[in-house]
Amino acid sequence: MKKFTTVLVWFRNDLRLHDNEALARAVRDADYVLPVYCFDDRHFTTTSLGFPKTGAFRAQFLRESVEDTQAALRSRGADLLIRRGLPEVILPQLARDIGAQAVYFHEEVADEELLVEQALVEALSKTLVNNTPVQDVSFWGSTLHHLDDIPFNTEQLPDVFTQFRKDVEKKSKVRTVFPVPPVMTMPPAFSNLPKQELPSLKELCPTSDIPTPDARAVLPFKGGETQALKRLAEYFWERDCLKTYKETRNGLIGADYSSKFSAWLALGCVSPRFIFAEVQRYEQERVANDSTYWLVFELLWRDFFRFTARKYDTALFRVSGIMNVKRSWNLDWKAFECWKTGTTGVPFVDANMRELLLTGFMSNRGRQNVASYLVKDMKLHWLMGAEWFESQLVDYDVCSNYGNWNYAAGIGNDPREDRYFNIPKQASMYDPHGDYVRRWLEKG
């Protein structure tokens, strides 16, 4: 006999069926499973400095990812119930309506997400189904290494990446991937529930222009697990790019200089453990070299920022950063507008900023340069840059974004590094013939 009759699965930044522990365990534990996604109104307000919190590129990617999850569930005889509003209000109500005894979901780490979780847990504890409070059951599923497997507790997490990486590589093992549940059964009462359509982009972002595709974009990013797995198959297996990743990863033009997995990772359309399993298979079937290692190394940076965010909580967002470095920051909006629109007069910075403005993406090399330029050369407030990235990036991830910005501003991990990027030197190294700058400045 199963533990529960009915369980709700709350989809968040885990929009996939593969390696989804919350879904897999719900299917194992309950006769009926009801998957739900809530478009949270708070995600569509503004940042503290007034930018749209979710800009149109990311909102579009999110819509596509939710739509793809719904289609994948439907093709397996299940469905995804779509709601708009506050999860901590919607989910307890649904649990009551459908008689669910538990809500399964993946944990997040940042401040705003944790407040929602806490409010949900509190509301569920007051929601009675058959005279028993509805249970909350949460899982850790966003990193390559599981929280319980890394060799430190949160307070002892090293502040220096190299130390984190070495200990994790030595002492932690990546867990195996959860398979897609073969059979999922919806609760019979599902058919009586009112259904809501996927909100349109205009409904989600009424003040933003609908993005128009730009032929110069590195990729026509499309959200969803289907596209994530397709991208992985192309990058690893069809075009065999993984074997040269370490040499190409600092590129600026085109689809294949780096994996471009970030947007799908941010919404959980692909799991880092699945990527790792595919790297291992590639190493067995094709080649194991510095490049195959390096992609996993980069995924460890992602883990590092996520665990760091968990350790430092709201300090990640404070002006003095996680290391509490007091500096004065300048909020010069006129100068910021030049940075934002790619009109500073520094070609390498402007080309990168226009790419971000017009496509929602920028290479890692570009991000490091424009961040350094904003903070160290223009001497503008680092939060202006971080919040603009939050609004604009198709791959925005709260931990990676604010972690990298803390780092760039010299108030984050290992502030001794406090690196300064000499922009003309960087441009001559990474864009020696000016192809990238011409691409964005001449046709723009």
Ligand X SMILES: Cc1cc2nc3c(=O)[nH]c(=O)nc-3n(C[C@H](O)[C@H](O)[C@H](O)COP(=O)(O)OP(=O)(O)OC[C@H]3O[C@@H](n4cnc5c(N)ncnc54)[C@H](O)[C@@H]3O)c2cc1C
Start-to-end Cα distance in the chain: 63
The single residue among 400, 406, 413, 426 that binds ligand X, judged by CB under 6 A, is 400
Least separation in angstroms between residue 102's CB and ligand X is: 31
CB-nearer residue toward ligand X: 77 or 254: 254
Does 70 contact ligand X by CB under 6 A? no
Task: Give yes or no for a contact between 238 and 286, defined as CB atoms under 8 angstroms apart.
Answer: no
CB-nearer residue toward ligand X: 208 or 404: 404
**Residue 30 host element (H or E):** strand 30-39
| Interface with ligand X: number of residues (CB under 6 A) | 29
Which residues share a beta bridge with 37?
11, 82
Task: Give yes or no for a contact between 221 and 394, defined as CB atoms under 8 angstroms apart.
Answer: yes
Neighbours of 244 (CB within 10 A): 14
341 CB-near residues (< 8 Å, 6+ apart): 353, 354, 357
The single residue among 82, 408, 423, 427 that binds ligand X, judged by CB under 6 A, is 408
- Single out the residue of 93, 78, 125, 87 nearest to residue 106, CA to CA: 87
CB-nearer residue toward ligand X: 32 or 307: 307
- Single out the residue of 232, 306, 301, 220 nearest to residue 270, CA to CA: 232
Phi, psi of 406, rounded to the nearest 5 degrees:
-55, -45
The single residue among 82, 316, 371, 384 that binds ligand X, judged by CB under 6 A, is 371
Least separation in angstroms between residue 251's CB and ligand X is: 9
Residue span binding ligand X (CB under 6 A) among the ranges 42-50, 63-71, 365-373, 422-430: 365-373
User: What would the x/- binding string for ligand X be over residues 142 to 171, using CB under 6 A?
Assistant: ------------------------------
Return the amino acid letter for 286: R
Residue span binding ligand X (CB under 6 A) among the ranges 2-10, 187-195, 205-213, 403-411: 403-411
Does 44 contact ligand X by CB under 6 A? no
The single residue among 12, 16, 145, 260 that binds ligand X, judged by CB under 6 A, is 260
Site for ligand X in 290-329 (CB under 6 A): 295, 298-299, 301-302, 305
CB-nearer residue toward ligand X: 32 or 261: 261
Does 364 contact ligand X by CB under 6 A? yes
Least separation in angstroms between residue 257's CB and ligand X is: 8
C-alpha span between 211 and 356 (Å, rounded): 12
Please state the length of the chain.
444
Map tokens 């779509």 to a residue: 82
CB-nearer residue toward ligand X: 135 or 142: 142
- Single out the residue of 230, 269, 264 nearest to residue 394, CA to CA: 264
Residue span binding ligand X (CB under 6 A) among the ranges 17-25, 161-169, 254-262, 342-350: 254-262
Task: Give yes or no for a contact between 112 and 76, defined as CB atoms under 8 angstroms apart.
Answer: no
The tokens for 438 are 């011409």
The tokens for 240 are 């065999």
The single residue among 20, 60, 69, 262 that binds ligand X, judged by CB under 6 A, is 262
**Binding stretches for ligand X (CB under 6 A):** 249, 258-262, 265-266, 295, 298-299, 301-302, 305, 363-364, 367-368, 371, 389, 393, 395-397, 400-401, 404-405, 408
